[in-house]
Amino acid sequence: MTVTAPQGFEAAGVAAGLKSTGKPDVAVVVNRGPLKAGAAVFTSNRAKANPILWSQQAIRDGVVEAVVLNSGGANCFTGAFGFQTTHETAEKAAELLGTSAGDVLVCSTGLIGTGDEVFRAKVLAGTAEAIATLSTEGGDDAAHAIMTTDSVPKTSVYQGEGWTIGGMAKGAGMLAPGLATMLVVLTTDAVLTAAEADGHLRAATRVSFDRLDSDGCMSTNDQVTLMVSGASGVTPEPEAFRFALTEVCTSLAVQLQADAEGASHDIAIQVVHAASEDDAVEVGRSVARNNLFKAAIFGNDPNWGRVLAAIGTTQAAFDPYAVDVSMNGVRVCSNGGPDRPREEVDLTPRSTSVLIDLKTGDASATIYTNDLTHDYVHENSAYAS
């Protein structure tokens, strides 16, 4: 049931005609619980879509009663008309739900720079239809409705002691921080204040979605929303809830990685013994964004020299001539020089691990990425056609 697994939530997903395939493309998630608390984090891209601009204003009071999401159009760089479309979407939802438009967040995903009267009419009609079909069984339909180039829906549920967290996500390309290119809705029936929800959400996204760097491209539409119904009546221990929320976010992030456009390898780059966590993240991200490294993994080539070349461009504290590098459990580089023969490394499995030991401190971090494939180039060369 995904986002409707926690008590107090209803959802729906309908086909409004935004996608040429006729598949569901408008989703609504509604909080029916005694609490209407919420929190959200957004893309750090300076170029933000109209739904982001709207939702950033709406979330300021920490109240979220509903989220309306559409695929089939990003509503980004569509000018005043596009912002008015977002505004009217929130107003339509609020009218039908008997709430305030300011308590409705809006999310969109799809092609940038498209949007007209037909798009607006379909979004508004889809919003009305979705609200008319809301149910506690509608989570799966909602998860399908937010998909674009995704091949499968992404969902996750965590059962706590008397409380639950549910989540759904979409994303298969432009996966880079600032949250990865994705829409995520998280729900919980735990009792939390808006401030507590915000703190937990930022802590969880920092080590999950923000560590996903599939192709180095940052979206204009990223949004992760946490809705709190309080319907369980249970106030969890803060550490327990934060752990659970991080587990759900990490699960969704890994599902996004596994469905990345055209990828043939899912790569976990673990950096250990760094001087600081920031250093570990910088080093891991430098490898994740290195096209030569990513192309080598696509060719099943354990070219550890490309790892050292990539991390040498960072400002992190380490001696490049003391670094160890292992690939899929085989240490191919020790103290900046060759170690085990490359032939011992098997890179044919989709799951690929790279371990970088900086030998400088006690901090660590893991960055998730994918290889660079012919299919990725082909799919993104024809995305708008």
Domain boundaries, the chain: 2-258, 266-381
DSSP state of 353: E
Candidates 155, 181, 225, 250; catalytic one: 181
Helices 238-258 and 194-206, axial angle in degrees (round to 10): 40
Task: Say what the pLDDT of residue 105 is.
Answer: 98
Kindly state the average pLDDT of the residues 305-325: 97
Does residue 231 carry a pLDDT above 50?
yes
Amino acid in the structure at residue 198: D
Query: Which pLDDT value is given to residue 179?
Result: 43
Under 8 Å CB-to-CB from 50, ≥6 apart: which residues? 75, 76, 78, 82, 83, 85, 86, 108
Q: What is the DSSP letter of 384?
A: T
- pLDDT over threshold 90, residue 318: yes
Residue 27 has pLDDT above 80, yes or no: yes
13 DSSP β-pair partners: 27
| Sheet-wide strand order for 9-14 | 9-14, 26-31, 66-71, 104-109
Q: What is the pTM of this model?
A: 0.91
State the pLDDT at residue 376.
76
Instruction: Return the number of other C-beta atoms located less than 10 Å from residue 342's C-beta.
Output: 15
Q: How far, in Å, CA of 272 to CA of 281, rounded?
A: 10
Q: What is the pLDDT of residues 246-261, one digit of tens each?
A: 999 999 999 998 887 7
Same fold, 2-258 and 266-381: no
Q: What is the pLDDT of residues 180-207, one digit of tens each?
A: 458 999 999 999 999 999 999 999 999 9
Architecture of domain 2-258: 4-Layer Sandwich (3.60)
Beta pairing, strands 37-42 & 104-109: unpaired
The single-letter code of the amino acid at 185 is V
Two structure tokens written together for 369: 């990425």
Is residue 63 pLDDT above 80, yes or no?
A: yes
- Report, as an integer, the average pLDDT of 351-360: 98
Question: What is d(CA 200, CA 241) in angstroms, rounded to the nearest whole number?
Answer: 8
Q: CB under 8 Å to 128, separation ≥6 — which residues?
A: 92, 96
Q: Are 189 and 226 in contact (CB under 8 A)?
A: no
Q: What is the largest CA-CA distance in the chain?
A: 67
Q: What is the DSSP letter of 207?
A: T
Tell me the DSSP string of 150-201. Answer: -SS-EEEEEE-SS-EEEEEEE-SSS--TTT-S-EEEEEE-S---HHHHHHHH
Band (pLDDT 50/70/90 cuts) for residue 116 is: confident
Residue 175 has pLDDT above 60, yes or no: no
Higher pLDDT, 213 or 53: 53
**Which tokens hold the place of 133?**
């079909």
- Our answer to whether residue 164 is catalytic in this structure is no
350: pLDDT strictly greater than 90: yes
Mean pLDDT over each residue of the chain, to the nearest integer: 93
Half-sphere exposure of 191 (CA within 13 A, CB side): 9
Given 3-state DSSP classes, what are the helix, strand and coil percentages for the chain, each rounded to the nearest 5? 35, 25, 40
Which homologous superfamily is 266-381 in?
Answer: ArgJ beta chain, C-terminal domain (3.10.20.340)
Q: Chain-centre distance of CA 242, in angstroms?
A: 17
Poorest-pLDDT segment among 17-21, 51-55, 105-109, 127-131: 17-21
